[in-house]
């Protein structure tokens, strides 16, 4: 994952959906399969929005 973190590496991914999934993987530590199964409304706002 460390190889994919730099913006230059993310820019080489084929499409925006893949880039967004990789960012979610990096930021949350979720497994790829779990990330792909997330619903569109999976975010829950906290006290700071």
Tokens of residue 11, six digits: 């820019």
pLDDT digits (tens, 9 = 90+) for 15-46: 998 898 888 888 888 888 887 787 777 777 77
Is the model's pLDDT at 12 over the cut of 90? Answer: yes
Q: Per the confidence metrics, is the pTM higher than 0.85?
A: no
Which 3 state secondary structure label does DSSP give 34? helix
Q: What is the DSSP letter of 2?
A: T
Q: How far apart are CA 47 and CA 14, in angstroms?
A: 35
Tokens of residue 25, six digits: 């993987």
């Amino acid at each position: 994952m460390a190889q994919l973190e730099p913006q230059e590496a993310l820019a080489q991914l084929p499409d925006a959906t893949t880039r967004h999934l990789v960012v979610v993987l990096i930021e949350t530590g979720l497994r790829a399969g779990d990330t792909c199964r997330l619903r569109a409304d999976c975010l829950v706002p906290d006290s700071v929005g």
